[in-house]
Structure 1
Amino acid sequence: MVLGGLQLMVVLDGTVANLALAKVQDDLGLSDAGRNWVVVSYALAFGGLMLLGGRIGDRFGRKRMFVVGVGLFTLSSLLCGLAFDEGTLIAARALQGTGAAIASPTALALVATTFAPGPVRNQAIAIYAAMTGVGSITGLIVGGALTQVSWRWIFLINVPIGIAIVVFAIPALRETAPHKLELDVKGAILATIGCTSLVFGISEGPELGWDSGAVIGSLALGLLLLAAFLFVERTATNPILPFSLFGDRDRVFTFASIFFAGASLFCTTVYVAQFVQNIMGYTPLKAGLAFIPFAVGLGIGSALASKVVVRIEPRWLVLIGGVIMTVGLLYGSTLDGDATYLRDLLLPVVGIGFGVGFAVVPLPLCAVAGVGETEIGPLTAITQVAQTLSGPLALAVIGAMATSKTLSEGGTNGAPSEMNPMQLTALGNGYTFALLGCAVCAAIAGLVALFIRLTPAQVAQAQAATEAAQQHAV
């Protein structure tokens, strides 16, 4: 219960934050870049520190670090709910992502050590995985309802849940023996700060000017830190990113496709949520309900892809999914403030969801095809990191595109509630221009997948190996 509860809380938080952005921006007077940082700061910390978080659990004991991670997530949720300006909210969100990076990978490892091998463990793993789907749907409804009362409640609701998880976890979970291993703290910090610096430079460029010293310095620092990260990873005793895992050509293209598919999905949810609330005038609850067909389409696409992935080459499935996403997003980029949900949005929302589901099922299996059981865990973790980090990096670029479009048409960079009709039109055009960027990411994901030469038999073997790794995990 406690492990599934943590997964549910983390997924809920990611879902409801997108629905609350419009309210947060109005209440705290955030700029467009500041609004994006509310989601970016969480995702950067979560993705950048996830690999280190899992190893911290191995190093100091998984139960102990699970409790620490949940405690940090709970405390930072309280700070998010009490935030009084842009800086305090963004800092608290980064702290929240750090807590999730410690607790989430440790929770999955604890499933394997808490339950005995066989049907009991398999059922526990299935319940844990199901929390992702449950959290996504529930978050759309609960998050919309809470945001309608106050955006602060989407964070404050985590406090009693987090306390309950800690209270029940202490007697329910069994501690694992610590392992003496060297932690690549330097690599994790360099990667996270390097990505953050790049995102800052790109997202602030339209507002501060691309020739601004702060923008140029931030971009240069980000590139320097990422170069240092690559050097550290080549010399580290226990690197968080082993380069040996990238020796396979198919795997490299798989990670690239995962990156762009994740980028498209992340940015699409952000800008569709903004469009329906700020331009179409939807309440947060109505916006959440409007996303449910997307989840339904995703579920249907995933179910169908799971059945045919062992019969059809995975590159064709990813390409088909990418094409469907691209077409839907290109259509979305043509909409304006006169759009209606039933006439203009329902079918594209379902179609994009179906395309996402059809594309994302084969890719994780391609990442672990042809490797031993002991390498499946690290590769799966790197896949999750690629999906998580792709969002904030892409949102920096696509957000800069959207802001530049809005400003070029006479819009302003501020709260929509203070804009006149002409400025709102410019804002809406910026949102739909962002969907064009999302379409480009989806198209790249599909095209890159064409270079994956894995056969259905290899994917079926990877599927069986993944299930075996879960059953024999310790």
Structure 2
Amino acid sequence: MTSDTRSGNQDEEGLKPPATEPAAAIVRNPWATFRVLVLIEFITVLDISVVNMALPSIQRDLGFSATGLVWVVDAFVLAYAGFLLLAGRAADVLGRKWLFLAGVGVFTLASLGCAAATEDWHLVVSRVVQGLGAAIVVPTTLALITDIFPEGPQRNRALGIASSMGSVAAAAGVLVGGLLADIAWQWAFLVNVPIGAVVFVAGFSMVPDVRARSADGIDVLGALTLALGVCALLFVVIRGGAEGWASGASLGGFALTALLLAVFVWRQRTARLPLIPTALLRQRNLVVGNAAIFLVGALMFGVFLLITLYLQHVRGYGPAIAGLMYLPIPVATFVGTQIAPRILRFGPRTSLLLGLVTQFAGLLWWAVAIGEHANPVLDVLAPTVLWSLGVGVSIVSAYVVCTLGVPAESAGAASGLATTSHQVGGAIGLSVLVAVADDRTRSLLDGPEPVSGATALTGGYAWALWGAVGIAAAGALLTRLMTFRTSERTPDGSPNGEGEAA
């Protein structure tokens, strides 16, 4: 693969597999294997929503304090996001099939451990292990998809379906969680066990035993400093709103994050075997793609929560009605992921730009129309469905950019980097948008003119939405930094129609 590292331009070979890249793994039925791969990814996300619905029962039975209860969720998130990149690199070095099966086994056994918890600390520790299992599974799954599908329409379609699993699982989790929580909170974790067992058994015969793509080792120091740095950052972001951004804990957390990430950057510059291959960081389109997927994650996590809060706290809908109102949104996201491969025929930059502009339009519409008595269809459902459609197109396009032309021996690292960017962006976006909404709500309640709680909440959500509009606009402008030549072709071999960036 040739590239101009000064300008970031790539010639036509930059979008094709390198000459030394092995062909796609020979699998008798790649789509059957694909279903096994995405099933475990589906339940890792499903579990998050299901557990959220079970939190009140967990608090009552295990005696969690109000502040301690958040660690049932945060322990999973910290372990998951912190070790994604290490797991992705390990998939390149150790081999993907066996690492995938190990991740499935860890996640399944940890789920059983969660269900068996009789003390609060037992559940939190089990959630950490469960997050580690999920961190192994997700980037390894994405890397295996690139093994069984060569670059082209089938891989784009597979990535689209895999990318949509998050939104579909999140919506299903709300409904499933409500049903299971009425039986016993343990079922929020036990539901994973039979599915994990089926995937583990099926994986032995259906997942290809692709040899390790890289003969290099793993930079242990770099992996640890990055994992701990990401965990420290997410800890501050998650807890900053509750502790206060200027508190000693928050400032200390930011300082620790800066130190750890500085050590990581130094290590990557000096290590013989860096965790992130330097060749990847020389690809401008991959770097821009990760920045874009960071912003898409910030919008996706943050706005999804704003929708839920608005429906229940302002409109007064109960969980069942709010869940029904919410269902068209992940459906629209799924539709977006399915049409994205067709739009990609016009080029990855065009597809990503169209997705972000669609998000911008939907968010702008809702920010203008939001109100206590807004029309639930025209002023709430329509703009959020339009936004969700853009989310589906954006996330598939960004993942394609992040994996397009990446050598096979670095596919795991590239997948882990993209997934880490998405998760960290989601955690930060969620905290920032909620903080903006809370600050504006408190300002209205403490202002000179008396306002109702619903009015103050609506004002806060509106400010957060305007912030989301700005994030979408920044993402759209970011696509201008991609530099595809007119002669380049999209993965399906058709001209992409994109000239060199100005």
TM-score strictly above 0.5: yes
When residues 86 and 319 of structure 1 are mapped into structure 2, their CA distance, relative to the original with a 3 A threshold, is farther
| Matching of residue 51 in structure 1 with residue 88 in structure 2 | no
In the alignment, residue 71 of structure 1 is paired with which amino acid? G
For the residue of structure 2 that corresponds to 1:241, the secondary structure is coil
Question: Structure 2 length normalisation: TM-score?
Answer: 0.73
Of residues 5, 9, 17 in structure 1, which corresponds to 2:48? Answer: 17
Q: Contact conserved, 2:87 with 2:135, CA < 8 A, in 1?
A: yes
Q: Deviations 1:225-282 (Å, cap 9, x if unpaired)?
A: 1111111222233222223322244443332222212221122223323332444344
| Matching of residue 146 in structure 1 with residue 177 in structure 2 | yes
Query: Which residue in 2 is equivalent to 1:359?
Result: 394
- How far has the Cα of 1:224 moved from its partner? 0.9
Query: Which residue in 1 is equivalent to 2:473?
Result: 443
Q: Deviations 1:447-474 (Å, cap 9, x if unpaired)?
A: 11122232465251x4559xxxxxxxxx
| Matching of residue 458 in structure 1 with residue 464 in structure 2 | no
Distance in 1 (alpha carbons) for counterparts of 2:479 and 2:159: 29
| Matching of residue 391 in structure 1 with residue 426 in structure 2 | yes
Stretches of structure 2 lacking an aligned partner (at least 5 in a row):
1-31, 495-502
| Matching of residue 342 in structure 1 with residue 374 in structure 2 | no
For the residue of structure 1 that corresponds to 2:236, the secondary structure is helix
- How far has the Cα of 1:445 moved from its partner? 0.8
Comparing 363-372 with 61-70, greater Cα deviation is found at 363-372
When residues 463 and 234 of structure 1 are mapped into structure 2, their CA distance, relative to the original with a 3 A threshold, is farther
| Matching of residue 322 in structure 1 with residue 356 in structure 2 | yes
When residues 207 and 39 of structure 1 are mapped into structure 2, their CA distance, relative to the original with a 3 A threshold, is closer
| Matching of residue 231 in structure 1 with residue 262 in structure 2 | no
Q: Contact conserved, 1:321 with 1:359, CA < 8 A, in 2?
A: yes
Distance in 2 (alpha carbons) for counterparts of 1:409 and 1:37: 31
When residues 404 and 138 of structure 1 are mapped into structure 2, their CA distance, relative to the original with a 3 A threshold, is closer
Query: Which residue in 1 is equivalent to 2:236?
Result: 201
- How far has the Cα of 1:285 moved from its partner? 4.7
Distance in 2 (alpha carbons) for counterparts of 1:112 and 1:251: 16
Q: Contact conserved, 1:208 with 1:215, CA < 8 A, in 2?
A: yes
Q: Deviations 1:140-171 (Å, cap 9, x if unpaired)?
A: 24541332441834433112222333344456
Mapping of residues 297-308 of structure 1, within 5 Å = 297-308=332-343
| Matching of residue 404 in structure 1 with residue 439 in structure 2 | yes
Distance in 2 (alpha carbons) for counterparts of 1:130 and 1:452: 25
Stretches of structure 1 lacking an aligned partner (at least 5 in a row):
412-420, 466-474
Query: Which residue in 2 is equivalent to 1:292?
Result: 327
| Matching of residue 72 in structure 1 with residue 102 in structure 2 | no
For the residue of structure 2 that corresponds to 1:453, the secondary structure is coil
Q: Deviations 1:166-215 (Å, cap 9, x if unpaired)?
A: 34445666756678642223223222221222233344334333332111
- How far has the Cα of 1:132 moved from its partner? 5.2
Distance in 1 (alpha carbons) for counterparts of 2:361 and 2:122: 39
**Identity in percent:** 31
For the residue of structure 2 that corresponds to 1:383, the secondary structure is helix
When residues 231 and 87 of structure 1 are mapped into structure 2, their CA distance, relative to the original with a 3 A threshold, is farther
Query: Which residue in 1 is equivalent to 2:15?
Result: none
Distance in 2 (alpha carbons) for counterparts of 1:249 and 1:52: 22
Q: Contact conserved, 2:164 with 2:337, CA < 8 A, in 1?
A: no
For the residue of structure 1 that corresponds to 2:218, the secondary structure is coil
Query: Which residue in 2 is equivalent to 1:414?
Result: none
Mapping of residues 207-226 of structure 1, within 5 Å = 207-226=242-261
Mapping of residues 112-191 of structure 1, within 5 Å = 130=161, 133=164, 136-137=167-168, 140-141=171-172, 143-150=174-181, 152=185, 153-170=187-204, 181-191=216-226
Q: Contact conserved, 1:69 with 1:103, CA < 8 A, in 2?
A: yes
Distance in 2 (alpha carbons) for counterparts of 1:247 and 1:188: 20
Q: Deviations 1:273-317 (Å, cap 9, x if unpaired)?
A: 333244434454544443332234334444444334333x54444
- How far has the Cα of 1:124 moved from its partner? 11
In the alignment, residue 458 of structure 1 is paired with which amino acid? E
Q: Contact conserved, 1:297 with 1:353, CA < 8 A, in 2?
A: yes
CA RMSD of aligned residues (A): 4.1
When residues 219 and 60 of structure 1 are mapped into structure 2, their CA distance, relative to the original with a 3 A threshold, is same
Q: Deviations 1:316-362 (Å, cap 9, x if unpaired)?
A: 44334323312322443463444453243220122102222333343
Q: Contact conserved, 1:44 with 1:392, CA < 8 A, in 2?
A: no
Greater helix fraction, Structure 1 or Structure 2? 1
Distance in 1 (alpha carbons) for counterparts of 2:225 and 2:280: 20
Distance in 2 (alpha carbons) for counterparts of 1:87 and 1:274: 29
Q: Deviations 1:45-97 (Å, cap 9, x if unpaired)?
A: 33432232244345555444333211221233345556689876665444322
How many residues are aligned here? 449
When residues 352 and 274 of structure 1 are mapped into structure 2, their CA distance, relative to the original with a 3 A threshold, is same
Distance in 2 (alpha carbons) for counterparts of 1:355 and 1:397: 21
Query: Which residue in 2 is equivalent to 1:275?
Result: 310
Distance in 1 (alpha carbons) for counterparts of 2:92 and 2:402: 23
Distance in 2 (alpha carbons) for counterparts of 1:379 and 1:104: 12
Question: Structure 1 length normalisation: TM-score?
Answer: 0.77
Query: Which residue in 2 is equivalent to 1:241?
Result: 276
Comparing 139-148 with 236-245, greater Cα deviation is found at 139-148
- How far has the Cα of 1:98 moved from its partner? 1.1
When residues 463 and 262 of structure 1 are mapped into structure 2, their CA distance, relative to the original with a 3 A threshold, is farther
Distance in 2 (alpha carbons) for counterparts of 1:128 and 1:187: 28
Distance in 1 (alpha carbons) for counterparts of 2:267 and 2:58: 42
